Amino acid sequence: MNIIMQLLGRLHPLIVHLPIGFIVLALILSWYDRKEKTFTNGIAISFLWGGITSVLACISGYLLYQTEGFSFDTIKIHLWSGIITAIFCFLAYARKKDAPRFIVFNRIRSGFYLLILFVLISITGHLGGSITHGEEYLVEPLPNSVKSLLGIEVFEKQEIILTEETWEEALLYDAIIHPILNNKCLSCHSSKKAKGELILQSPEAILRGGENGDVLVSNHPDKSALYTKLVLPLGDDDRMPPDGKTQLTKAEVRLISEWIERGNSFEKSNKELGINVELVKSFFPRKINNNYPDVYVEKVIAQFIDSIEAMNVYVEKINKESHFLSVTCINQPTFEDANFALFLPIAENISMLDLGTTRVTDAIFSELKKLPNLTVLKLDNTTITGENIKELTSLQHLKFINLASTQFKEANLSTFLEFQRLEKVFLHNTDIKAGNMKAFAAKEIKVDFGNYALPTIESDSIIF
């Protein structure tokens, strides 16, 4: 019996569309019926069946409420408005039929019934939809600006920003724990949704716990569901956030555990709680180490690139979005100093330039300094001696220079100390041997003299 009741209840979403159809049909027919009065009978039948199917919808709806465990509060308005809809259908039918027993209702204009019924099915339908799809179903796709105009609460991601100067003074809960919960948990555990009756929006709510009791046991992360569920294997039914949702990072999980272990204080700062700097390091602003400078350049005109590529020199964007370009002469070993003029129209955009294995000479340096954003420069396997390399000291962004297999002179080595942002120089297979590099180390410039070897060791000759 229960099964049949449950089954009938689940037919509710289907049945509800019948009264809607009949009532809308009656409304439309009434519109055509304004003067001619040819559809009166049809309208009456529509109202009658609208009423009958409304009753069926009410019964199946009631069964659904009984068998699926909805709370009465969530469905009560929907239920009552459904019942009233059914009653009004029969009243409208009686009005159309001019039933003598209902003489009181016949004095009211029939347009009134139509209006009331239209309002009723709109309200009932909307409430029903909100119960099945959730309150935010309709407004969810709206942009945030419209939502806030409508007075709907908007989910806002809270960036965790700490710096080396401020992290000690920041409150652990306010600066880190709350934003983590906000970004990764609140979409299900807010006062609006409260899955498992757990709300993680405020200190009080967190301490209140969920349907399975407390989620926090002070000083014992391994007994606190707030932590243990985070470290279950991905795919475990109890894992939080569940597979498919944005996961907490390792550092975030560690911090939640540390926070509980140190007594889940809501008021103490990182310093007072003795949080280690290693734990919060991942929230410090990242030092970006890219092969292009952090400045804006205009996009180049495609024609310039076409004319360069016609010379068999490849030009490619650093990445799909960037306007910076990487230029390589790998297919053009006959490239000479004189060809450099080709690059001038795109000079600002070149951040990586590969002139390795070409015919360029020391004269190229006075040209290269015209590339203000050059970051990576390859001049390996050329006849360069480094005579004019001083010219490049004006380049603010130059980080890497590859001079492997060139005739670079030891006398020019110290010029690198005058560069502004140089990080690495490759001098493999040149005549220079590593000398005293203290000055370079002080400026954090790595010079790789290469010529590595793997001397023979005893075990090389053993055959097992």
φ/ψ of residue 352, rounded to 5? -130, 130
**Smallest distance, Å, CB 328 to other proteins?**
6
Which residue, 145 or 459, has its beta carbon nearer to other proteins?
Answer: 459
The single residue among 41, 191, 290, 366 that binds other proteins, judged by CB under 8 A, is 290
Bond into 19 cis (ω within 30): no
Cα distance between residue 144 and residue 373, in whole Å: 38
464 binds other proteins (CB under 8 A): yes
The single residue among 331, 383, 414, 420 that binds other proteins, judged by CB under 8 A, is 331
334 binds other proteins (CB under 8 A): no
Residue 114: closest CA among 54, 17, 15, 28: 28
Cα distance between residue 410 and residue 386, in whole Å: 9
Residue 12 belongs to what H/E stretch? Answer: helix 12-15
Query: In the stretch 104-143, what mask flags binding to other proteins with x, by CB under 8 A?
Result: ----------------------------------------
Looking at the DSSP bridge assignments, the partners of residue 377 are 353, 401
Binding window for other proteins (CB under 8 A); candidates: 180-188, 255-263, 318-326, 341-349 = 318-326
Residue 356 vs residues 308, 385, 408, 428: alpha-carbon distances, Å: 17, 14, 14, 14
Kindly determine how many residues on this chain lie close enough to bind other proteins according to the rule CB under 8 A: 38
320 binds other proteins (CB under 8 A): yes
Residue 89 vs residues 41, 104, 172: alpha-carbon distances, Å: 15, 16, 61
196 binds other proteins (CB under 8 A): no
**Smallest distance, Å, CB 277 to other proteins?**
19
Q: Which two tokens stand for residue 34?
A: 């304004």
Buried b (16+ CB within 10 A) or exposed e, 251-265: bbbbbbbbbbbbebb
Cα distance between residue 316 and residue 453, in whole Å: 36
228 binds other proteins (CB under 8 A): no
CB atoms within 10 A of CB 368: 23
341 binds other proteins (CB under 8 A): no
The single residue among 201, 328, 361, 385 that binds other proteins, judged by CB under 8 A, is 328
The single residue among 187, 291, 393, 396 that binds other proteins, judged by CB under 8 A, is 291
> Which residues lie closer than 8 Å to 79 by C-beta, 6 or more apart?
58, 61, 62, 65
| Residues 394-423, interacting with other proteins (CB under 8 A) | 400, 402, 404
Which residue, 306 or 336, has its beta carbon nearer to other proteins?
Answer: 306
Cα distance between residue 13 and residue 64, in whole Å: 10
307 binds other proteins (CB under 8 A): no
The single residue among 292, 340, 408, 416 that binds other proteins, judged by CB under 8 A, is 292
The single residue among 66, 202, 319, 383 that binds other proteins, judged by CB under 8 A, is 319
Binding window for other proteins (CB under 8 A); candidates: 37-45, 114-122, 127-135, 310-318 = 310-318
Cα distance between residue 16 and residue 355, in whole Å: 74
The single residue among 6, 67, 187, 322 that binds other proteins, judged by CB under 8 A, is 322
**Smallest distance, Å, CB 280 to other proteins?**
17
| Residues 236-255, interacting with other proteins (CB under 8 A) | 250
Q: Which residues bind other proteins (CB under 8 A)?
A: 250, 289-292, 312, 314, 316-322, 328, 330-331, 378, 380, 400, 402, 404, 424, 426, 428-429, 448, 450-454, 457, 459-460, 462-464
